[in-house]
Every structure is written in structure tokens, then in C-alpha cells.
Amino acid sequence: MKIIQNEIDGIAYVTVKGRAETQLTHEFEVAIKEIVEGDNRNLLLDLGALNYLRSSVLRVILNAAKDIERKGGKVVLCSLNAYVREVFEGNCFEDAIAISDTVESGLSALLSLLKAA
């Protein structure tokens, strides 16, 4: 798993590529925790290049969504492949975390939230 972090207009933007294997879950958790504890209130997670999702990564994402929501922010997942989307939708997590088809639409949704605040 490769983690790429950026910031776009005050929104933390993280791209995850590859397989979310056990040894890299900790690296992902640390990266997301830094974002959650930092100044960014919104997080866009691009999971389009993630081929496999471990439950530990799912837990990290769900915990981040809860923590960011407490700060008044939002997490949006985008570009999910069929397998990863099925994991989220099959467990009814789409009610807790917004899912967007593309990076652009996810970014647009978060930017509109920032403008409304």
C-alpha cells in the first residue's frame, strides 16, 4: 500500500494505492491520525487504486470519520472500485461516510461545505 498526502484548498487529500496489507495498516493509521489531529477538518480519501481492503483499514477510516465529524468536518471517499464499494455499502457504512464517484465530485462536495460554513 502506498499513501500519498496532499492538501487542496484546506482539504486533506489522501490517495491510497495497492493492497492494504497488515504491515502497512499502521503507516496508514499514523497518516490519518496526523490529519485528524491537525488543522484540517475535512478529508477526501481517494481509494480508486486500492485493490483490497482489510478490516483494520476500514476501522481506521470509520474512526477518522467519527473524529472529524466531532470537529464539524466530513470525510468523503471517492473513486471506489466495485470490491471496496461493496465492503462499505454491504456494511451500511455509506450512511456514516459519504461516497463520491470521482475525486472531482468529492472535492466539490467538500468545498461547498467549506463555503457554507
Q: Is the pLDDT score of 12 beyond 90?
A: yes
Alpha helices in the chain (DSSP H): 22-37, 55-70, 82-90, 103-116
Q: Residue 43: which pLDDT band, with cuts at 50, 70 and 90?
A: very high
Mean pLDDT, rounded, for 52-78: 89
Rg (CA), the chain: 13
**Are the C-beta atoms of 77 and 107 separated by less than 8 Å?**
no
**Which residue type sits at 75?**
V
Q: Is the pLDDT score of 114 beyond 80?
A: no
Q: Tell me the backbone φ, ψ of residue 101, rounded to 5 degrees.
A: -70, -35
Q: Residue 57: which pLDDT band, with cuts at 50, 70 and 90?
A: confident
Q: Is the pLDDT score of 41 beyond 80?
A: yes
Q: Which domains does the chain have, with CATH numbers?
A: 2-116 (3.30.750.24)
Edge-to-edge strand order for the sheet containing 11-19?
A: 2-8, 11-19, 42-52, 74-78, 98-100
**Are the C-beta atoms of 36 and 4 separated by less than 8 Å?**
no
Q: Residue 85: which pLDDT band, with cuts at 50, 70 and 90?
A: confident
- Give the Cα separation of 21 and 7 in Å (integer): 25
